């Protein structure tokens, strides 16, 4: 894992590189850096995720370990996508996060650059409802195709059967009662 | 036979094609037909989810041209259990049995990935004895998982008796698990901060007995299969995939090592005292099915070595952290100490609270990199638990591997891929 | 080519055998009952009274056709290979050598449901899988039985959430085997209990053993669970009609 100073250096590079290309209107892709328990995390703008990942790849983080979603409910922006990158040569890990508002949860897909993201983005779409623009085949992967709702959002009820005890066994038996 | 493949003498030109074909002695007229466009018709076949050769409830939509596979589309989700959602509803301690049932052949690894993540968040240190015990159980689990893989894969290839031999060894390992924790599978042995109980007397003796005979058993499996003509024909040179493609697809574990890349988290980024042990990483050369098979077989030897070293060097000490805010106090203390009683009560009813933060904890499971992402918001229940399962990511490489191969090769490749649907679907 | 008949036609005797020694036992009823013997004076022909009764009891068995058929059926279950999750590994363990299901004759696991008569549902049934389980069960021919192995398919087990369905909701189950996963011995106990049920001797003897008469729960048959009508109700899971490739 890059240590705290290494993480800041990466963030600076990103700000300089990406900010310079896009021009003054774009601003920095990196919103925040976080160094927690020995691991560095970059919180980036959702629109610039492809550029950030490409830059990190050029810096050596060429393996994407994991792509998963988080729901920060009730904090807005609520839906987060987390990308875990690994540099195998230096045995270095870095995390890239982004946060999306729940009314328009769309972000660019990174599947063409990182083929490992294929099923994992589909899972984030299935479980959280994040739409990945440009994904070759964005369908539900774990739930049935016609399922409604995104189960792993925090406000989705956990569901299940009511546990039958003596006090409620008469109500739950059958539909006539 | 006339060189143009016309009907043999005895037929007239007014006969239908069918009759002509029937009466021809050579198959040349049939071969003619095969070259035509009608044989390029693609057939889409549905494999599963109930199928004896898919390892679990995996559904494959296979597009075939004759017997050659042109495209594979895996459809998963048939054993999706909502484990991650269930884990959000339970206290940190109670998540352990739930998360263990994910990749159901490597339950100690699931539990360790989760416990390791929570321990990182809590910044609690695991005593050395507990680490060694964890290594012993994890490596035994690795051997057991490879045994089940070997037994079921050989069953798929037709070497049916391998199943009984492998399960015979597996029973011995499960006896050991039952000795240490009381359960054969999904043992809840790993807890946050260490292991739930120290090993009983007799465990070391029995384990030594197993370790003495295990290498010779693996030799026997190798003797049965390594130079077997049928195994060679079915696995050697079949469905290779180079390391670069595998890396871009996120594949780790024996599949990647078979392709030549010696990436193993136990050596590259040691955790849980793996740096204390001397073992090798088996690496293949070509990356075909035979290399995958040989890699896993060799890994069994290495795991035996690790367990032997861990058992010989098992240090004295506590088996779980002494931090009473995280681990239950021993029962005899409850009768004498008031704080112990209060800690016990708090831990059992509410559970410990974890400071807010997010952590990703990767380990090397028998199938590849198993990572656990835990997000905590400061309460006693996790806000998000995500398991990065190796089989889920490895499955993406399946279509790349099996394109252009025969159906039988598809089955062999699926067996060598070692997918566990519980982990894929979670 | 004339061939010497060495024995009665149809017996296929090939060697040189004295026909008197090896003769088809076309005994008459008296000899059958009295234990007809081929050589010499036969002592059992002179059995009378109580001895005769005992001899008959030992050599003749009477049964009903149902019982005989049930006996045959129960000793030759063909389980369907239906492993879903962790319980499947323990189900494979009963085929393995330690708890050997071949002792009882159940080792012929058939892959095709058309050839199987016992469905051992081993593992968690998710909502995506439930219609498929139902379809497989429907494809099995009568008589068929189902064992729900493990806690996840009997109830929802450890996971009481949106994704699982307990098997009772969409198919009739004969034996539930608890455990997570049940030991192979426990599954074997469940299979043997089913075997006894099929032999029409459901070994519910635990009520006598624990003196638990009077603790039975009465499930109301009016408008609810009870009887075969329960499964005519709209199931919790929709079973798609034939030809519908749900989930593709």
* Location of structure tokens 């022909």: C45
Task: State the Rg of chain A over Cα.
Answer: 20
Interface check for C160 against chain B (CB to CB < 8 A): the answer is: yes
Give the mean model confidence (pLDDT) for residues B74-86. 90
Which residues in B lie closer than 8 A to residue A71 (C-beta atoms)? 384
pLDDT of residue B332: 85
Helix or strand run (H / E) with residue A87? strand A79-87
Cα atoms in the Cβ-side hemisphere of radius 13 Å centred on B403:
9
Q: Are B191 and B218 in contact (CB under 8 A)?
A: no
What is the per-residue pLDDT for C38? 44
Lowest-confidence pick of A101-115, B45-59, B184-198: B45-59
Q: What is the pTM of this model?
A: 0.82
Question: H helices of A29-168, where?
Answer: 49-58, 117-128
Is the minimum CB–CB distance between A139 and chain B shorter than 8 Å?
no
Comparing CB atoms, the residue among A144, A161, A177 nearest residue C246 is A144
Residue, of C6 and B300, whose pLDDT is higher: B300
Distance from CA of B228 to the nearest CA of A (A): 35
Task: Please report which confidence band the pLDDT of residue B371 belongs to, taking 50, 70 and 90 as the band edges.
Answer: very high
Beta bridge partners of C145: C118
* CB C159, CB A165: distance < 8 Å: no
Which residues of C are less than 8 Å from A158 in CB distance?
Answer: 160-162
Instruction: Give B213-226 pLDDT, tens digit per residue.
Output: 999 999 999 999 99
Q: Measured between alpha carbons, how far is residue B412 from residues B58, B60, B229, B237, B314 in Å?
A: 15, 14, 15, 12, 40
pLDDT in tens, B2-32: 444 444 555 566 666 666 666 666 655 555 5
Distance CA C122, CA C135 (A): 16
- The percentage of residues in chain B with a pLDDT greater than 70, rounded to a whole number, is 90
**Of C201 and B411, the one with more pLDDT:** B411
DSSP type of residue C48: -
Q: Which residues does residue B44 pair with via DSSP β-bridges, in sequence order?
A: B63
Higher model confidence: residue B342 or residue C1?
A: B342
pLDDT at residue B3 in the model: 44
Please give the backbone phi and psi of residue C80, each rounded to the nearest 5 degrees, phi first: -90, 140
Distance CA B411, CA B174 (A): 28
- Show which subunits contact C, needing at least 3 CB pairs below 8 angstroms: A, B
Task: Kindly give the pairing relationship between strand C118-122 and strand A131-133.
Answer: unpaired
Q: What is the pLDDT along chain C (248 residues), one digit of tens a residue?
A: 344 444 455 444 445 555 555 555 555 666 666 655 544 555 555 666 777 777 777 777 778 888 888 888 888 889 987 888 889 999 889 988 898 888 888 888 888 889 998 999 998 999 888 888 988 888 888 788 899 999 988 888 888 888 898 888 888 888 899 998 899 999 999 999 888 888 876 555 666 677 766 666 555 554 444 444 444 444 444 444 544 444 43
Q: How far apart are CA B241 and CA B248, in angstroms?
A: 12
pLDDT in tens, B86-97: 999 889 999 999
- What are B241-297's pLDDT values in tens digits? 989 999 999 999 999 999 999 999 999 989 989 999 999 999 999 889 999 999 999
* pLDDT for B44: 87
Q: Write out chain B residues lying below 8 Å of A36, CB-based.
A: 357-359
Residue in B249, B393, B425 nearest the CB of A142: B425
Query: B137-163 pLDDT, tens per residue?
Result: 999 999 999 999 999 999 889 889 999
DSSP state of C210: T
Q: Nearest by CB to C223, from A151, A156, A176: name it.
A: A176
Q: pLDDT tens digits for B321-337?
A: 888 888 888 888 888 98
| Residues of chain A positioned with their CB less than 8 A from the CB of B250 | 63-65, 114-116
CB-neighbour burial class of residue B251 (10 A; exposed 0-12, middle 13-18, buried 19+): buried
Segment B197-209 mean pLDDT: 92
Scanning the structure block, which residue is given the tokens 């593709």? C248
Distance CA B375, CA B372 (A): 10
Query: Which is more confident, C43 or B232?
Result: B232
For residue B375, name the pLDDT band (cuts at 50, 70, 90): very high
Q: What is the pLDDT of residue C235?
A: 41
Classify C3 as helix, strand or coil.
coil
Crossing angle for the helix pair B128-157 and B407-417, to the nearest 10 degrees: 170
- B39-55 average pLDDT score: 79
Within chain A, which residues score under 50 in pLDDT?
Answer: 1, 20-26, 172-177
């Amino acid at each position: 894992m890059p240590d705290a100073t290494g993480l800041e250096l990466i963030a600076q590079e990103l700000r300089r590189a990406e900010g310079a290309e896009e021009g003054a209107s774009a601003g920095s892709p990196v919103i925040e850096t976080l160094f927690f328990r020995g691991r560095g995390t970059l919180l980036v703008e959702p629109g610039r995720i492809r550029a950030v990942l490409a830059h990190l790849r050029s810096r050596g983080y060429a393996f994407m370990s994991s792509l998963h979603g988080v729901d920060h409910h009730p904090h807005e922006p609520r839906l987060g996508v987390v990308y875990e990158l690994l540099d195998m040569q230096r045995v270095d890990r870095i995390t890239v996060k982004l946060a999306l508002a729940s009314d328009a949860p769309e972000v660019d897909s990174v599947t063409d650059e990182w083929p490992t993201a294929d099923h994992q983005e589909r899972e984030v779409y299935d479980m959280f409802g994040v739409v990945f623009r440009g994904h070759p085949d964005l369908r539900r992967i774990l739930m049935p195709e016609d399922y409604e709702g995104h189960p792993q959002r925090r406000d989705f009820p956990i569901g299940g059967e009511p546990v039958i005890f003596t006090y409620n066994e008469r109500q739950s038996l059958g539909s006539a009662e | 036979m006339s060189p143009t493949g016309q009907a043999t003498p005895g037929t007239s030109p007014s006969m239908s094609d069918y009759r002509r074909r029937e009466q021809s002695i050579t198959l040349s007229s049939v071969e003619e037909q095969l070259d035509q466009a009608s044989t390029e018709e693609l057939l889409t076949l549905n494999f599963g989810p109930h199928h004896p050769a898919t390892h679990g409830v995996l559904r494959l939509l296979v597009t075939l041209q004759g017997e050659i596979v042109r495209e594979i589309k895996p459809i998963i989700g048939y054993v999706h259990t909502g484990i991650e959602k269930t884990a959000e509803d339970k206290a940190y301690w109670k998540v352990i049995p739930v998360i263990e049932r994910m990749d159901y052949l490597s339950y100690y690894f699931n539990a360790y990935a989760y416990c390791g993540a929570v321990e990182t968040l809590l910044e609690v240190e695991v005593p050395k004895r507990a680490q060694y015990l964890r290594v012993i159980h994890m490596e035994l689990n690795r051997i057991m998982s490879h045994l089940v893989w070997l037994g079921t894969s050989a069953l798929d290839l037709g070497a049916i008796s391998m199943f009984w031999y492998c399960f015979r060894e597996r029973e011995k390992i499960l006896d050991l698990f039952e000795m240490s924790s009381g359960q054969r599978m999904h043992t809840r042995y790993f807890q946050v901060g260490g292991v739930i109980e120290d090993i009983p007397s007799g465990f070391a003796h029995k384990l030594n007995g197993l370790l003495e005979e295990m290498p010779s058993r693996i030799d026997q499996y190798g003797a049965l299969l390594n130079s077997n003509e049928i195994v060679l024909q079915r696995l050697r040179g079949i469905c290779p995939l180079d390391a670069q493609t595998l890396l871009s697809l996120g594949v780790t574990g024996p599949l990647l090592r078979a392709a030549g890349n010696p990436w193993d988290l136990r050596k590259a980024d040691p955790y849980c005292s793996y740096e204390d042990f001397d073992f090798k990483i088996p690496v293949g050369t070509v990356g075909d099915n035979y290399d995958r098979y040989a890699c896993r077989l060799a890994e069994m030897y290495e795991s035996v070595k690790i367990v032997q070293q861990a058992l010989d060097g098992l240090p004295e000490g506590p088996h779980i952290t002494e931090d009473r805010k995280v681990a239950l106090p021993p029962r005899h203390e409850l009768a004498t100490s008031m704080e112990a009683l209060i800690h016990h009560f708090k831990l059992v009813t509410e559970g410990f609270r974890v400071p807010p933060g997010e952590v990703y904890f990767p380990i090397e499971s028998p199938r590849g990199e198993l990572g656990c992402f835990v997000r905590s918001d400061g309460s006693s229940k996790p806000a998000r638990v995500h398991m990065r399962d190796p089989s889920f990511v490895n499955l993406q490489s399946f279509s790349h591997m099996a394109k252009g191969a025969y159906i039988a090769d598809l089955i062999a490749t699926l067996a060598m891929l070692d997918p566990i649907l519980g982990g894929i679907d979670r | 080519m004339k061939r010497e008949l060495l024995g009665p036609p149809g017996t296929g005797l090939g060697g040189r055998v004295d026909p008197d020694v090896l003769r088809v036992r076309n005994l008459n009823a008296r000899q059958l009952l009295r234990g007809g013997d081929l050589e010499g004076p036969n002592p059992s022909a002179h059995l009378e009274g109580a001895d005769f009764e005992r001899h008959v009891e030992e050599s003749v068995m009477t049964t009903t056709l149902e019982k005989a058929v049930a006996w045959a059926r129960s000793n030759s279950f063909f389980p369907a290979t239906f492993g879903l999750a962790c319980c499947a590994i323990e189900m494979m363990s009963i085929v393995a050598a330690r708890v050997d299901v071949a002792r009882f004759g159940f080792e012929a696991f058939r892959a095709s449901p058309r050839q199987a008569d016992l469905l051992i549902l081993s593992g968690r049934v998710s909502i995506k899988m439930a219609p498929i389980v139902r379809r497989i069960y429907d494809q099995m021919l009568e008589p068929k039985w189902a064992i729900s192995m493990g806690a996840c398919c009997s109830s929802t087990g450890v996971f009481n959430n949106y994704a699982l369905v307990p098997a009772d909701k969409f198919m009739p189950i004969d034996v539930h085997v608890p455990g997570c996963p049940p030991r192979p011995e426990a599954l074997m106990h469940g299979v043997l209990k089913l075997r006894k049920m099929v032999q029409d001797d459901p070994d519910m003897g635990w009520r006598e053993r624990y003196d638990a008469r009077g603790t039975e729960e009465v499930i109301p048959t009016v408008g609810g669970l009870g009887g075969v009508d329960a499964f005519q109700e709209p199931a919790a899971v929709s079973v798609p009609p034939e030809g519908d490739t749900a989930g593709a």
